[in-house]
């Protein structure tokens, strides 16, 4: 039976496969990640292990993997050293980091707060120093949100550019491979391995930065004030989008509808047949997913097309959105379900843009609010992954690191 390793490792790891890997791929070229410790979310196939996806009943119904997932194999071939599999929210259908079966991984930088999900274990493994690099997945923010909550770097690459072969799927039109690191260089080395720069078009050297008033309106007051003050201190004068240009509440609702429809289409038969025991929040999402109609999905698909068109027009070929990836730091562990839900809904309005349009987004450490880490992020046009990460590393070195040390 798979279980979480508690608590000395912050509850980040599953017992299955911890410290062991029976099959190592042949090295490929220069091992740019030689010695880098790799943790892997328990949604990736690893030869000799069984993918649990955060739910014991799912685990029981899966065969032992015979082939290791493409992204895991690539990173190991680039020199990574295997550490283990990490805890995930159930079937990745959550942003909180709470798992009723395996526990809530402990946020190393704010132990009294949630770590964020669904890639909670991977984020915690990196933030606590047990791994230098950790694979997660991002459907609705499951890399970007925990990266922000845990004060580390994270990337959601452009949709469908990094192979998801051998990875559990929640909602295929949104799911991406993603990863965490404590520094931008390690994040970039992994990007070079998983998505060689030669596959990307040449970008501009000086991107325009865009700040949206619709985004700022969703932030906690102290976060918005700090963000505006930081822009002045760092001498950043971005292009401003006036209120009403980004209908974020409408976009987030469309995202939830489309995601739920895909989730039920893929997993509804299993849920109906097995009647698995879920945590209350995940169970509620599956119940809602079961009621999504084809008409609702069609209307939401039209909204997604509008969102993609709007964002493509605003970004063009030379612009990046600059924004906190979420409105505030992580909720406290003793927050009520209603409080956690409110934070989730507000966060989705910021996170849904990259999901709907398949855009790359990089999260970097920024500062703390009442002891809770909060990141900043850059989001660019589809296919500009290396450019977005390069710009984020430059921004961090020039405008964040000298003013506010990383949490």
CA distances from 217 to 240, 251, 327, 331, 338 (A): 13, 15, 9, 19, 21
Helix (H) or strand (E) holding 367: strand 361-369
Catalytic residue chosen out of the listed positions 41, 85, 122, 377: 41
Name 93's Cβ contacts closer than 8 Å, sequence gap at least 6.
118, 170, 263, 282, 285, 286
Locus of tokens 């770097």: 153
Locus of tokens 């991977």: 122
290 catalytic residue (yes or no): no
Q: Report the 10 Å Cβ neighbour count for 299.
A: 14
Task: Judge whether 22 and 61 are in contact, CB under 8 Å.
Answer: no
142 catalytic residue (yes or no): yes
Residues 312, 306: Cα–Cα separation, whole Å: 10
Residue 175's region, left for phi above 0, alpha for psi from -120 to 50, else beta, is: beta
Locus of tokens 């010695």: 35
Catalytic residue chosen out of the listed positions 73, 118, 120, 377: 118
Pairing of the two strands 133-138 and 37-41: parallel
Distance between start and end Cα atoms, the chain = 36
Catalytic residue chosen out of the listed positions 73, 94, 119, 142: 142
Residues 203, 119: Cα–Cα separation, whole Å: 30
Q: Classify residue 399 by its DSSP letter.
A: I
Residues 211, 209: Cα–Cα separation, whole Å: 7
Residue in 378, 346, 382, 381 with CA at minimum distance from that of residue 363: 378
Locus of tokens 């493409």: 70
Question: CA torsion angle for 92, 93, 94, 97 (degrees, to 10)?
Answer: -30
Strands laid side by side in the 4-5 sheet: 4-5, 13-14, 81-86, 37-41, 133-138, 176-181, 153-156, 361-369, 372-379, 319-323, 208-212, 239-241
85 catalytic residue (yes or no): no
Task: Judge whether 280 and 337 are in contact, CB under 8 Å.
Answer: yes
Pairing of the two strands 37-41 and 208-212: unpaired
What are the phi and psi torsion angles at 64 (to 5°)?
-65, 135
Encoded tokens for 74: 């690539």
- Please list the active-site residues: 41, 118, 142
């Amino acid at each position: 039976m798979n279980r979480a390793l508690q608590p000395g490792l912050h509850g980040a790891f599953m017992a299955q496969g911890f410290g062991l890997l029976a099959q190592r791929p042949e090295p490929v070229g220069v091992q740019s990640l030689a010695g880098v410790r790799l943790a892997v979310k328990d949604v990736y196939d690893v030869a000799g292990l069984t993918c649990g996806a955060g739910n014991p009943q799912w685990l029981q119904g899966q065969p032992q993997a015979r082939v290791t997932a493409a992204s895991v194999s690539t990173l190991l071939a680039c020199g990574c050293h295997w550490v283990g599999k990490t805890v995930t929210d159930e079937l990745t259908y959550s942003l909180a980091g709470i798992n009723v079966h395996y526990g809530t991984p402990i946020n190393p930088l704010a132990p009294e707060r949630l770590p964020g999900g669904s890639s909670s274990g991977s984020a915690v493994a990196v933030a606590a120093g047990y791994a230098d690099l950790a694979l997660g997945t991002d459907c609705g923010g499951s890399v970007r949100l925990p990266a922000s909550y845990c004060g580390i770097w994270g990337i959601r690459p452009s949709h469908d550019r990094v192979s998801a072969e051998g990875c559990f799927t929640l909602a295929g039109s949104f799911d991406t491979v993603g990863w965490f690191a404590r520094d931008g260089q390690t994040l970039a080395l992994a990007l070079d391995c998983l998505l060689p720069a030669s596959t990307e078009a040449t970008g501009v050297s000086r991107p325009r930065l865009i700040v949206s008033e619709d985004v700022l309106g969703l932030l906690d007051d102290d976060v918005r004030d700090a963000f505006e003050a930081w822009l002045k201190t760092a001498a950043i004068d971005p292009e401003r989008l006036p209120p009403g240009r980004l209908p974020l509440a409408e976009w987030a609702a469309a995202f939830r509808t489309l995601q739920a429809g895909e989730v039920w289409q893929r997993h509804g038969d299993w849920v109906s047949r097995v009647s698995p025991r879920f945590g209350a929040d995940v169970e509620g999402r599956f119940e809602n997913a079961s009621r999504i109609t084809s008409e609702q999905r069609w209307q939401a698909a039209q909204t997604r097309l509008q969102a993609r068109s709007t964002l493509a027009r605003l970004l063009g070929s030379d612009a990046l959105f600059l924004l906190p990836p979420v409105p505030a730091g992580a909720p406290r562990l003793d927050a009520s379900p209603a409080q956690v839900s409110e934070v989730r809904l507000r966060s989705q309005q910021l996170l849904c843009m990259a999901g709907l349009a398949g855009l790359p987004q990089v999260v970097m450490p920024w500062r703390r609010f009442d002891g809770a880490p909060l990141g900043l992020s850059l989001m660019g046009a589809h296919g500009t992954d290396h450019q977005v990460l390069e710009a984020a590393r430059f921004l961090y070195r020039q405008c964040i690191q000298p003013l506010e040390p990383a949490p």
